[in-house]
């Protein structure tokens, strides 16, 4: 019997990415639902100082509100030249939450004239699981590469069009879903937390 797990996001790209990975790791074991099935739930204020604090807060508040085990992630782009920014502010770097085009443009503007050697960057993702009985578990992972000089590619979301992973001459937005899942920060953090998700859900009966 599949256990229901709430993915605490309304981002369709994230939901599909998580579902693909979970289906590979534990096919049929988890019925993954997103916040789109709970339209009246409040928005979680991401006021933590770290990715882990924000991820755990989202998972905890959504699990308590629904009574369902919840998994949430907080992730962001950390650019070396910008001292690690935008970091936890990645989704709203240009001022409006979730405006990918504006966020990408701001990063490119900030790195205008900066050489390839100074355009190193990485994504960080923390995946957090919270159960209604108060148990929790977190896993973190990174995804290293560099910032391109212009956006390219039609896949993915967020900063994917301006980020080229180490070892690739393409942007993340040019990779297939399977290629990206295998190396991305989100893919790695979810694969790391998946065994804990399955183990902890089983204890719920």
Closest by Cα among 137, 1, 133 to 67? 133
Q: Give catalytic status of residue 74 as yes or no.
A: yes
Q: Which member of 73, 74, 100, 181 is catalytic? A: 74
Instruction: Provide CB contacts within 8 A for 194, sequence distance 6+.
Output: 21, 22, 25, 26
Strand partners, 33: 6
Do residues 193 and 127 make contact, with C-beta atoms less than 8 angstroms apart? yes
- 70, HSE (Cβ side, Cα atoms, 13 Å): 24
- Which backbone phi and psi does 159 adopt, to 5 degrees? -90, 5
* Under 8 Å between Cβ of 129 and 52: no
Contacts of residue 54, defined as CB under 8 A and 6 or more positions apart, other chains included, come to 46, 47, 48, 74, 88, 126
Q: From the CA atom positions of the chain, what is the Rg in Å? A: 17
Peptide bond into 86 cis (omega under 30): yes
Residues catalogued as catalytic: 74
């Amino acid at each position: 019997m599949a256990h229901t797990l709430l993915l605490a996001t309304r981002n369709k790209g994230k939901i599909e990415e998580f579902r693909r990975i979970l289906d590979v790791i534990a096919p049929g074991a988890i019925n993954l639902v997103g916040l789109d099935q709970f339209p009246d739930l409040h928005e979680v204020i991401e006021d933590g100082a770290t990715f882990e604090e924000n991820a755990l807060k989202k998972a905890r508040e959504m699990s308590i509100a629904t009574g369902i085990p919840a998994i949430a992630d907080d992730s962001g782009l950390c650019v070396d030249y910008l001292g690690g920014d935008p970091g936890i502010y990645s989704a709203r770097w240009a001022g409006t939450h979730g405006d990918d085009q504006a966020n990408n443009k701001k990063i490119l503007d900030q790195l205008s004239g900066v050489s390839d050697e100074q355009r190193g960057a990485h994504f960080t993702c923390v995946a957090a699981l919270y159960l209604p009985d108060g148990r929790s578990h977190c896993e973190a992972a990174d995804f290293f590469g560099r910032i391109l000089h212009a956006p390219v590619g039609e896949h993915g979301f967020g900063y994917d069009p301006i980020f080229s992973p180490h070892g690739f001459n393409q942007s993340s937005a040019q990779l297939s879903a399977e290629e990206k899942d295998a190396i991305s920060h989100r893919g790695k953090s979810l694969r790391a937390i998946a065994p804990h998700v399955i183990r902890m859900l089983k204890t719920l009966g």
